[in-house]
Amino acid sequence: MQKPIGIFDSGFGGVSVLAEALKKLPEEDYIYYGDLLYAPYGTKTREEIQDRSAAVAEVLLVQGCKAIVIACNTATSTAAVYLRGKYTLPIIGMEPALKPAVEGTTGSIVVLATPLTIKESKFKNQIGLWGIGRDVRPVACPGLMELVEREAPAEDVLRYLEELVGPHISADTEALVLGCTHYIYIKPHLERLWPQIKQFDGNVGAVQQLKRRLTEENLAGGGSGHVVYKTSAAAMVDFAAKCERFKERALQLME
């Protein structure tokens, strides 16, 4: 295997970013790391997430990774700057797709994210940068990531969305921004509840940025789409199989 790209998240949500990378950059090899032993990140402190992100980065560096993708909005908002200060290789983070939502709609925008992402200054700065003059409604979604992780029945997810997100939806709502990589997997449920509302996520933008950085650093190519799955939860014997299941679901959602 050539020098791979490391992609990490606290759980399985980042597999949706891996799927996007495999689709757009099939000539690369990948290591996906799920930090399950310390999931979810959304309930941790900033310092704890920084420590875990650095620990995972060290594992990926030992594996020879040429770039790292933080496939988690919460970890990006709390640890991306910290990691870039420690390491010299390209480190790509996630951005809630607020800019394309603003550019692609005229009505109100509902942003779904973890409570910690919404509290971080990075997210508030984005609203200040792109949301001026627009009705942007951040909605903290505690527990939604866990529903995705355990592959909860559709009725449980729909009930959650109706109760938590429904009150923020109005007649003029035109955009739903999915501010967590796990939320890619609830796209069908959101479409079922609110088919008239456009959905925006940051996966495409993150992979485009990865491609740009690899080209700039003369690091692009050399692989064949090979993927290795690793996790901090050593006892989880079916980790790779579950990752493959999430990857296939993400690829289907792209069609």
Share of the chain above pLDDT 70, in %: 98
Rounded-to-integer distance, Cα 180 and Cα 247, Å: 16
- pLDDT for residue 2 is more than 90: no
Share of the chain above pLDDT 90, in %: 85
88 and 59 in contact (C-beta within 8 Å)? no
At residue 198, the 3 state secondary structure works out as strand
Reported pTM: 0.94
pLDDT digits (tens, 9 = 90+) for 84-126: 999 999 999 999 899 999 999 999 999 999 998 898 888 889 9
Which two structure tokens, joined as six digits, stand for 116? Answer: 């910690």
pLDDT at 255: 74
Fold of domain 5-94+203-254:
Rossmann fold (3.40.50)
At residue 161, the 3 state secondary structure works out as helix
Closest by CA to 14, choosing from 172, 215, 190, 230, is: 230
- pLDDT for residue 236 is more than 80: no
CATH 3.40.50.1860 domain residues, the chain: 5-94+203-254, 98-201
pLDDT at 233: 87
pLDDT digits (tens, 9 = 90+) for 38-67: 988 988 899 999 999 999 999 999 999 999
Rounded-to-integer distance, Cα 248 and Cα 143, Å: 23
Least confident among 59-73, 158-172, 230-244: 230-244
- pLDDT for residue 1 is more than 60: no
CA geometry: angle 30, 32, 33, nearest 5 deg: 145
- In this structure, are strands 108-113 and 198-201 parallel, antiparallel, or unpaired? unpaired
Q: Hey, which residues are catalytic here? A: 72, 180
Q: What is the pLDDT averaged over residues 150-154?
A: 96
Range among 33-42, 58-67, 232-241 rated most confident: 58-67
Q: How many CB atoms lie within 10 A of CB 88?
A: 7
Phi and psi torsions of 72, nearest 5°: -155, 125
pLDDT at 235: 65
Q: What is the pLDDT averaged over residues 8-29?
A: 97
- pLDDT for residue 208 is more than 90: yes
pLDDT at 70: 98
Q: What is the pLDDT averaged over residues 141-152?
A: 95
Fold of domain 98-201:
Rossmann fold (3.40.50)
